[in-house]
Amino acid sequence: MVRLHFVAMFFGMIAASAHAVPASTHQAAIEAYVRPYSDTNNFWGAILAARNGSPVFARAFGFADRERQVPNSLKTKFHIASMSMQFTAAAALRLAMQRRLSLDTPVSRFVPELPNAQKITVRDLLKQTSGIHDINSLPDYDAALRKHQTPSSLVEKIRALPPRHQPGSYEGEEHSAYNLLALIIERRSGLPFARAIKRLVFDPLRMNASGIDDDRSASPNRAAGYAPSGVKDLERAVAIHWSAKAGNGSAYTTAADELRFMRGLLSPRFLSPELRKEVFDLSSAVGFGWFKSNSNRFGGPVYSMSGRAPGFASAVIYIPHDRLFVVALSNVYASFTPTMATDIAAILSDRPFEPLPLKTIGDAASFAGLPARFKFGPDFYQSNAVLQLGVQRGEVSITWPNGDTSPLIPVATDRFIDRAYGVPVEITRGQRGEPVGLKYDRFKGDAFAG
């Protein structure tokens, strides 16, 4: 259980003198760590690290708009995808503080026809243990992203669908739970969702650069989103209606505003001790927009969250023991930000980390025997998927069952990083040098001729 002394720890009431490494050394190490990502077009964005609530590293990389040659800055606003859940959860908790909402209220109060509505509470939604059907799994979800939506229209899409499981356990990210929270916040506040979050969260914390994108108006200093094209290039990401992610992914913010949010989350003026205790409770691994764990690497509790949506990737990590907060916001649709935020926290706490040796040119030995197909088991990300490895214009890529391709960044012979998802990929070969297997993240697939 996280105790209230974390507030004191974070705001510097415990001196930072125990960290004897000069700040300039840490800053140089972080700069050297980030450069391979930015130089290979796998991270454009802003990074801010703070100790005791005060920034110790803040820097921007790459372009906010490459076509107009506008560089990213610390004032650039980034979409943060699933990290938006933290703001939605905070708004619900603020309504609970004002006694306009109870975490024990059954969902039947708001959507009585939803399956298991009597059993599901607001707390289940916040902890993603509701079991309700998830909008992201619907076959027409991409079509939903192409139209303006409201929390009500999003909930309507799953309102009559059977649950994925009974309430009470976390079995995967519940995007629809946070769509439903957005609807509840609207009804309890009497305001449209974007205005409710502004009044309940952004205004009290002076997060003046943050907002909810409901498709209605553009905000200045907003970054354009980019997607990987091949191993080293970028292209404009497919445009979506961010209103289709209301509650679970429609927020944008700056690195500095993320720090203001963290300070607020730890302040008794923003959240009561009882509600803060719910947020930082380690008895559940997920909840209130955070993943929570006791980390061997950092020697204590670690709270983290990441997000990824067309054109953007983001990650945040908070380590009470080291009084550290790191946020990485990117306008490149590549999933390196969680690793980057965690490694930067390791640099600042003088713990081991491994720089990623990204390259842009592969070697011919890695191309031998390709194209080749590999079949994975039922526990893979896509059950029993067959992936194809191929070579085009001197670059290796994976083709997924739905036709999507992921370019592979070469690291060494037969070793790569999936540029889209940021995970390791390795070809294993037989005695004659033929590809016999493929390691993808922690999974293993076998050569498949079918």
Q: Express each pLDDT in 262-295 by its tens digit.
A: 999 999 999 999 999 999 999 999 999 999 999 9
pLDDT at residue 313 in the model = 97
β-pair type (226-229, 405-412): unpaired
Domain 5-348, CATH number (from 3.40.50.300, 3.40.710.10, 3.90.1150.10, 3.30.70.100) = 3.40.710.10
Helix ranges restricted to H, 112-254? 122-127, 141-144, 151-156, 175-189, 193-197
Where are the chain's structural domains? Answer: 5-348, 364-447
The CA-atom distances, in angstroms, between 281 and each of 82, 290, 291 are 20, 10, 11
Domain 364-447, CATH number (from 3.40.640.10, 2.40.128.50, 3.30.70.1140, 1.20.120.160) = 2.40.128.50
Q: Bridge partners of 386?
A: 375
Backbone angles phi, psi at 236, to 5 degrees: -60, 135
Q: Which residue has the tokens 């209230």?
A: 4
Domains 5-348 and 364-447 share a fold: no
pLDDT > 90 fraction of the chain, expressed in percent and rounded: 86
**Per-residue pLDDT reduced to its tens digit, 328-369:** 999 999 999 999 999 999 999 999 998 877 777 778 899 999
- Helix then strand then coil, in percent of the chain rounded to 5, is 30, 25, 45
Per-residue pLDDT of the chain (450 residues), as tens digits, is 333 333 333 333 333 333 455 678 899 999 999 999 999 999 999 999 999 999 999 999 999 999 999 999 999 999 999 999 999 999 999 999 999 999 999 999 999 999 999 999 999 999 999 999 999 999 999 999 999 999 999 999 999 999 999 999 999 999 999 999 999 999 999 999 999 999 999 999 999 999 999 998 778 999 999 999 998 999 999 999 999 999 999 999 999 999 999 999 999 999 999 999 999 999 999 999 999 999 999 999 999 999 999 999 999 999 999 999 999 999 999 999 999 999 999 999 999 998 877 777 778 899 999 999 999 999 999 999 999 999 988 899 999 999 989 999 998 899 999 998 889 999 999 999 999 999 999 999 999 987
Distance CA 356, CA 419 (A): 12
User: 186 with 193: CB under 8 angstroms?
Assistant: yes
**Sign of the torsion angle spanned by Cα atoms 135, 137, 142, 143:** negative
Cα 141 to the center of its chain, rounded Å: 19
Judge if the upstream peptide bond of residue 371 is cis by omega within 30 degrees of 0: yes
User: Against a cut of 0.75, is the pTM above it?
Assistant: yes
**Non-local CB neighbours of 366 within 8 Å, separated by 6+ positions:** 396, 410, 413, 414, 416, 427
